[in-house]
A and B are shown apart, each in its own frame.
Chain A
Amino acid sequence: MSTRITIDPITRIEGHLRIDCEINNGKVTKAWSSGQMWRGVELILLGRDSRDAWTITQRICGVCTTVHAIASVRAVENALQLEVPVNAQYIRNLIILAHAVHDHIVHFYHLSALDWVDVTSALKADPDATARLGQSLSSWPGNDKEQMRAVKQRLAGFVGGGQLGIFTNGYWGHPAMKLPPEVNLLAVSHYLQALEVQRKANKIVSILGSKTPHIQNLAVGGVSNALATDSPSVLTVERLMAVKTWIDELADFVKNVYLVDVAAIGAFYADWTQYGAGVTNYLCVPDLPQDTKGTQFLLPGGHLPGRDFAAFKPITSFNDEYWRKGVEESVKHSWYDYVQKGPLHPYRGETNPKYTDFQEQGKYSWLKSPTFYGKSAQVGPLSRVLCELAAGHESTTRYATKTLELVSAIAKTKVGPAALHSTIGRHAARAISCATQVDLLENQWSALINNMSKGDLHTYNKPVFPKAEITGVGFHEAPRGALSHWVVIEDGKIKNYQCVVPSTWNACPRNEADEPGPYEASLLDNPVVDPGQPLEVLRTVHSFDPCIACAIHVTDPQSGSAIRVTAR
């Protein structure tokens, strides 16, 4: 017997995503991912000064502000072949890394942990046993008995007072919830500690970006931060020392709490290494440039078609032709109409809305369907970690090995790298990536200080625009994966602009060849115990960290807030 369910919206954060599943005998047999709002920010950019595009694009989304700003300045710099001073690269890299660390911590603890952690079960935990468990897993000082007792008491008061607040929409007591009470209490305790520690990452963005949540220090050609070793009004060594203390606190939390929690939760949900692989064609772009031209990067990128590391093909510079020529977008199943014959390269991309109803075989989403050499591709932390492993990246390899060893020890069975191609594997990859990122924060902080101490305080090269038409692509390995802005400029003014964002790669509808996108493919064969409470579907979709405010833009004010599940 077939059951059809619709979940709308599927995220706790901005952006409207609808997921439809056909369920047969307790498993998903067909899935559709649909963006429910019209995308059109590209249109607002036409005719504007290309130097201002980044201030507008960072308003697309409240979660991913900095990433669109970075991709936008890189696109215009790429069109001009403008070099960027290394100090500016270091400062941008620090902002990129601090934002990513913030984003990953918040995603795990505050947006998706409740898919796995039963808050009400934590009330049955023995706080002293919880402390012993925490101390056996990690040297983190926040796992003591007093902490666990206080958290349990706070939780009891909160739930007892009927103020479930942020926990209201959880599926408490669902049969798919498997953690022992002590692990649940440990996770709730770390939820609160994560709330505090994420503030440090935000402070770094705020100091370097001159403002948060919308940074103000970028410019096409560099950054506007004035560097000095003696003035109180600019980025001084003293200010940078404050940044260093926050980096150290973040590193402690990520390595001794986040990574450990993901390993522990993963070990208890080992069955979830069997679900959710979906599209195993992985794409990641290199990032953290170390030179003025963007040819040397701290994090490698590339294309990994399938699970075979031998087939990995690297992407090596901001001018990489393999990357530039591979990207196209199809609208065969999207609510757009192309005047040209599709699919189209982003430089020739069009944004002409054409709404039909939700047509399972036809058009059903406001997201376009991007492809790399004609194939849908998965982007995000899992793609990033797999590409870095394929490229032999040292710290990613070290943290991946450590994480899998910890999972194996807790699960008391050997768990290898193949487990990463899964729903729970995406959470593990995000934590592994985050551990590498906190190390690189320290690395880039030192690089900036060293360069300043040599007397180089240069942060900006002035752009000069030709009358002729020029094109450029700016890419950035954002927290949710490969982001690219594609711009056509004439006499300094924007002639065309297309954003190909991570959640479009992952949440897209079927492509020109009618093959499902990564969300859709990852849901196939997912178990669903109770179609009225499709927790398992949420687990797989949330493992991608969906945020589609940037993929689709206009808000529908009349839609409700609570998750609506329609089974029929």
Chain B
Amino acid sequence: VIAGSAELRDRAGTAALAPDPPAAARVVVLGIGNTLLTDEALGIQAVERFAAMYRVPDHVQLIDGGTSAMELLDVVADCELLIVVDALLANSTPGSVVRLAADAVPVFFRTKLSPHQVGLSDLLASLEFAGQSPRTTVILGIEPADMRLGLELTPIVEAHMPELVGMIAAELRGAGIDLAAGSTRM
């Protein structure tokens, strides 16, 4: 009763068909950026690399958000912890690794350190009005060196990617989440 080749069947996956875990317990790791613009891809690549190294519990969702906004409302709404991973324009040296939490998060969204948060900040503002904001939001990222058209990270950003992936793991462990060696389907 299966149509198509085994390879196609595998690619279709089943991740999207799994029932939603209870909203209150959900943790979302959201990589955002445009994967066609060199270092703009670093947030998504970091989440993908993390997914290839760790197996996370079912209530933790690893999401490639691209440059979407309202399409992400369903996963972001009412989550316990939101970890945004993104290229951060913090006027520091390219390759600098940045972590923003607590009061720095709303400042980040107001001052537009990321090129695509016009969408994400509107999404979070809508959630705030609807009373469905994530309980805690943390932002992890690296200052990009090049955002022109291109499919590979620059060497200077590439050199700091293991550190960024390690920060995602530390953030989750700090929230009491068990990480096992292995991999997670995104």
Chain A residues with CB under 8 A of B174 = none
A195-B130, A226-B9, A460-B3 are contacts. A213–B66 as well, Cβ < 8 Å? yes
Q: Is the CB of A458 within 8 A of B3?
A: yes
| Interface check A553, CB cutoff 8 A | yes
Binds A, one of B46-54, B116-124, B154-162: B116-124
Q: A118 → chain B, closest Cβ, in Å?
A: 16
Q: Is the CB of B16 within 8 A of A212?
A: yes
| Interface check A59, CB cutoff 8 A | yes
Q: Is the CB of B131 within 8 A of A154?
A: yes
Chain B residues with CB under 8 A of A166 = 122, 125-126, 129
Interchain CA distance A60-B149 in the complex, whole Å: 11
Interchain CA distance A163-B186 in the complex, whole Å: 34
Most chain B CB within a 10 A radius of its CB, from A217, A233, A555: A555
Q: Is the CB of A553 within 8 A of B36?
A: yes
Q: Is the CB of B149 within 8 A of A44?
A: yes
| Interface check B72, CB cutoff 8 A | yes
Interchain CA distance A150-B9 in the complex, whole Å: 47
**B43-71, CB under 8 A of A: which get 1 and which 0?**
00000000000000000000011111111
Interchain CA distance A40-B38 in the complex, whole Å: 13
Contact with B73, one of A165, A199, A556 (Cβ below 8 angstroms): A199
A59-B34, A231-B1 are contacts. A213–B72 as well, Cβ < 8 Å? yes
Contact with A210, one of B12, B68, B115, B144 (Cβ below 8 angstroms): B12
Most chain B CB within a 10 A radius of its CB, from A207, A213, A556: A213
Binds B, one of A61-69, A129-137, A280-288, A406-414: A61-69
Q: Is the CB of B67 within 8 A of A14?
A: yes
Q: Is the CB of B4 within 8 A of A222?
A: yes
Chain A residue at smallest Cβ distance from B36 = A59
Interchain CA distance A209-B14 in the complex, whole Å: 10
Q: Is the CB of A457 within 8 A of B71?
A: no
Contact with B129, one of A60, A192, A210 (Cβ below 8 angstroms): A192
Contact with A41, one of B11, B16, B71, B149 (Cβ below 8 angstroms): B149
Q: B184 → chain A, closest Cβ, in Å?
A: 14
Chain B residues with CB under 8 A of A106 = 70
Q: Is the CB of B68 within 8 A of A62?
A: yes
Q: A549 → chain B, closest Cβ, in Å?
A: 7
Q: Is the CB of A216 within 8 A of B36?
A: no
Q: B74 → chain A, closest Cβ, in Å?
A: 4
Please tell me the number of chain A residues within 8 Å of chain B, measured between CB atoms. Answer: 67
Q: Is the CB of B64 within 8 A of A214?
A: yes
Chain A residue at smallest Cβ distance from B13 = A210
Q: Is the CB of B119 within 8 A of A14?
A: yes
Q: Is the CB of A56 within 8 A of B3?
A: no
Q: A200 → chain B, closest Cβ, in Å?
A: 9
A553-B36, A555-B115 are contacts. A44–B16 as well, Cβ < 8 Å? no
Q: A536 → chain B, closest Cβ, in Å?
A: 23
Interchain CA distance A300-B71 in the complex, whole Å: 28
Chain B residue at smallest Cβ distance from A215 = B16
| Interface check B100, CB cutoff 8 A | no
Chain B residues with CB under 8 A of A210 = 11-13, 15-16
Chain B residue at smallest Cβ distance from A99 = B71
| Interface check A369, CB cutoff 8 A | no
| Interface check A239, CB cutoff 8 A | yes
Q: Is the CB of A228 within 8 A of B2?
A: yes
Chain B residue at smallest Cβ distance from A168 = B125
Contact with A216, one of B13, B66, B69 (Cβ below 8 angstroms): B13
Q: Is the CB of B66 within 8 A of A214?
A: yes
**A109-142, CB under 8 A of B: which get 1 and which 0?**
0100000000000000000000000000000000
**B107-137, CB under 8 A of A: which get 1 and which 0?**
0000010011011001001101111000000
Most chain B CB within a 10 A radius of its CB, from A62, A196, A206, A239: A62
Contact with B35, one of A59, A87, A217 (Cβ below 8 angstroms): A59
Interchain CA distance A12-B89 in the complex, whole Å: 20
Q: Is the CB of B148 within 8 A of A554?
A: yes
**A161-173, CB under 8 A of B: which get 1 and which 0?**
0010111000000
Q: Is the CB of A211 within 8 A of B13?
A: yes
Spell out B's residues near A (CB within 8 Å). Answer: 1-5, 8-9, 11-17, 34-37, 40, 64-74, 77, 89, 112, 115-116, 118-119, 122, 125-126, 128-131, 144, 147-151, 186
Known interface pairs A192-B129, A210-B12; 17 further A-B residue pairs with C-beta atoms within 8 A, sorted by A's residue number: A43-B149, A65-B68, A102-B70, A106-B70, A202-B73, A202-B74, A207-B16, A213-B68, A222-B4, A226-B8, A229-B1, A233-B17, A457-B2, A458-B3, A553-B149, A555-B40, A555-B116
For the complex of A and B, list the 4 residue pairs with the smallest distance between their C-beta atoms, beginning with the closest. A62-B67, A165-B125, A166-B125, A213-B68
Spell out A's residues near B (CB within 8 Å). Answer: 12-14, 40-41, 43-44, 56, 59-63, 65, 87, 102, 106, 110, 154, 158, 163, 165-167, 192, 195-196, 198-199, 202-203, 205-207, 209-214, 216-217, 219, 222, 224-231, 233-234, 239, 457-460, 549, 553-557, 560-561
The contact sample of 29 A-B pairs, CB cut-off 8 A, is: A41-B36, A44-B151, A56-B36, A62-B116, A63-B119, A65-B71, A102-B70, A102-B71, A110-B122, A165-B129, A167-B129, A202-B73, A206-B74, A209-B16, A210-B13, A216-B12, A222-B4, A224-B11, A225-B12, A226-B12, A227-B3, A228-B2, A230-B1, A231-B1, A233-B17, A234-B12, A234-B14, A557-B144, A557-B147
